[in-house]
Amino acid sequence: MAGTGAVESLALSVGVSTSLARHDLEGFDQLRFWRTASRRAVIAKLFAQRLHPEISDLCFTAGFLQDMAIPLLVGQRHDYRTTLSEWYRGGGELHILEGDKYGWNHAELAGWLCEEWSLPGELTELVAHHHDDHLLPAALRLAAYCQQREDRDEADRIVALASEEFGLVVDDVVEILNRAETESESIARLFG
């Protein structure tokens, strides 16, 4: 019923998530991480179904895997938790904080993981460059506003971008966001 592409996309997401370390460490909320990844994936898929349906399953997977390096970094680098905490407190963009501190960022590391695991090239590019708006399909640009840190203006920014840049009707965007909230909860339970 879900379609082959959707099943493959979800299976790949589950497979990758089980390969990632599961950490309940100070400075990292695993449940929040998986909820955000699930919400971002569903938002990306729902917008893609409207804007570029031929890649909606790819957008789901790329949205889900964008931050997959974060749990690994939390578990392997004690100092990374400090960077993550700074970002949670609103200290700037995470990829910029990482670049300034380490000379690399979680997106680059996630792209490298995709390559090491021989994931499809198009998926690898979307994951590795998810902070480069000019390289992303519209659906992933919209989903990128869905972040782990608490952001009361997240929905407003998505609505504004979707309507102003991509010509979507505001009520339709709100409906997509509400639907994504519901659908992503059932997906998040698979991981958290």
Question: Could you read off the pLDDT of 144-169 as tens digits, one per residue?
Answer: 888 766 667 888 999 999 999 999 99
């021989």: which residue's tokens? Answer: 118
Of 162, 149, 153, the C-alpha closest to 44 is: 162
Cα→Cα distances 95→86, 105, 106, 110, 182, Å: 12, 5, 7, 12, 28
pLDDT of residue 125: 96
Domains (range + CATH), the chain: 4-75+106-191 (1.10.3210.10)
**What percentage of the chain carries pLDDT values higher than 90?**
58
The dihedral sign for the CA sequence 172, 93, 45, 53: positive
Reported pTM: 0.85
Q: For the segment 49-65, what is each residue's pLDDT rounded down to a tens digit?
A: 999 999 999 999 999 99
